[in-house]
Amino acid sequence: MPDFLPYAYFQGQIVPFAEAKISIATHALHYGTAAFGGLRGIPDPQNPDQILLFRLDRHCQRLSQSAHLLCFDLPADRIEQVIVALIQKNRPSSSFYIRPLVYTSDLGISPRLHNIEKDFFVYGLELGDYLSPEGVSCRISSWARQEDRSLPLRGKISGAYITSSLAKTEAVQAGYDEAILMNSQGKVSEASGMNIFIVRNGILITPGFDQDILEGITRDSILTLARDLGIPTQERPIDKSELFIADEVFLTGTAAKITPVRQIEQYQMPANRPITEQLRQKLAAITENRDPDYPHWVKVVRFD
Ligand code: PMP
């Protein structure tokens, strides 16, 4: 079991984590009608009385948009207030992850989003490396990423994670670390909980928003950093075979940060990864507030 932070926000109040419990009849549990976020924070290495959160505003905005897709009006600044209050109460002392979730909290049956009670909660857990920073092996999944015409993919909708879960388990049970999913057109989409990038001839390439990806906040950060560093970028469809001949491949996500891919199916990737490494160091410096160029990406939460 993860090491949960001692307090959670549940049913409008901050309560001990163990007291935050829902009924077995909860609608969202049956129909996947929930949406969640995930953001990382660390104690400030330069000041033990404060916490650094990476792109809190953008995470809250995405969750608010996901809630909107589920017909739930939850302003981003309300989510932000709750997260800050919860962190101040918990005073985390190591690297952690915050998980806010909006859901249909009603106890009635029938799949729907109208005329139904909804709520949101937030809790946290300690989180070190989610995937090995040394690199992972990936299987091309037999499961396709869903299409936006069957599920609102711009939201981080809980029900969509059945596909991620099937793909991840299929990969791990076949001896790989992670899964790469193609979309219904057979183009590269993303991994089970990460966006994907490749490097070819010095160009950083990632599937665009038309490839059924999640609007990853790390993805957005990496594209911005690459442009600022003068690395040419392309957002375009990627063929499966391009993965196998790429110079570098890496996955990005809040939990995974930048994780290099060292093998895909039977193909070994080159061990030399200069662009992955450059971006990884830059992102680490920003999240630790050591980079003067991106202070607006780091929210400082003080303990008063
Ligand atoms: N795709 C999926 C399916 C995810 O679950 C995640 C993790 N939130 C990502 C991509 C990466 O998104 P982010 O960088 O915002 O964490």
Interval 221-234: pLDDT, tens = 999 999 999 999 99
**Residue 208 and residue 189: Cα distance in Å, rounded?**
9
For residue 108, how far is its CA from the centre of ligand 1 (angstroms)?
Answer: 31
Query: Residue whose CA is closest, atom 5 of ligand 1?
Result: 193
Please indicate whether residue 217, judged by its CB atom, sits closer than 6 Å to ligand 1: yes
Q: Is the pTM of this model over 0.90?
A: yes
Render 80-124 in DSSP notation, one character per residue. Answer: HHHHHHHHHHH---S-EEEEEEEEE-----S--SSS--EEEEEEE
Q: Kindly report each contact of residues 77-83 with a partner whose C-beta sits within 8 Å and lies 24 or more positions away, as own/partner.
A: 79/37, 79/120, 79/122, 80/56, 82/9, 82/120, 82/122, 83/39, 83/53, 83/56, 83/122
- The reply to whether 7-126 and 136-287 are identical in fold is no
87-114 pLDDT tens trace: 999 999 999 999 999 999 999 999 999 9
Residue 75 CB contacts under 8 Å (≥ 6 apart), including other chains: 64
The superfamily in CATH containing domain 136-287 is D-amino Acid Aminotransferase, subunit A, domain 2 (3.20.10.10)
pLDDT of residue 221: 98
Tell me the C-alpha to C-alpha distance, in Å, between residue 135 and each of 176, 179, 238, 260.
11, 13, 21, 4
pLDDT of residue 304: 76
Please indicate whether residue 254, judged by its CB atom, sits closer than 6 Å to ligand 1: yes
Q: Classify domain 7-126 by CATH number.
A: 3.30.470.10
Query: Residue whose CA is closest, atom 4 of ligand 1?
Result: 193
Q: Contact 155/108 with Cβ under 8 angstroms?
A: no
For the chain, domain boundaries = 7-126, 136-287
108-141 pLDDT tens trace: 999 999 999 999 999 999 998 999 999 999 999 9
Please indicate whether residue 214, judged by its CB atom, sits closer than 6 Å to ligand 1: yes
Residue 125 CB contacts under 8 Å (≥ 6 apart), including other chains: 2, 3, 4, 5, 96, 97, 99
**Residue 251 and residue 194: Cα distance in Å, rounded?**
6
Please indicate whether residue 219, judged by its CB atom, sits closer than 6 Å to ligand 1: yes
For residue 38, how far is its CA from the centre of ligand 1 (angstroms)?
Answer: 8
Please indicate whether residue 195, judged by its CB atom, sits closer than 6 Å to ligand 1: yes
- The catalytic residue positions are 156
What's at 165, amino acid-wise?
S
For residue 193, how far is its CA from the centre of ligand 1 (angstroms)?
Answer: 5
Query: Which residues of the chain have a pLDDT value below 70?
Result: none
Query: Residue whose CA is closest, atom 2 of ligand 1?
Result: 193
Number of H helices, E strands in the chain: 7, 17
Q: Rg (Cα) of the chain, in Å, rounded?
A: 19
Render 145-193 in DSSP notation, one character per residue. Answer: PP-TTTS-TTS-BGGGHHHHHHHHHHHHHTT-SEEEEE-TTSSEEEESS
Q: Contact 76/63 with Cβ under 8 angstroms?
A: yes
- Antiparallel, parallel or unpaired: β 118-126 and 96-104: antiparallel
pLDDT of residue 292: 87
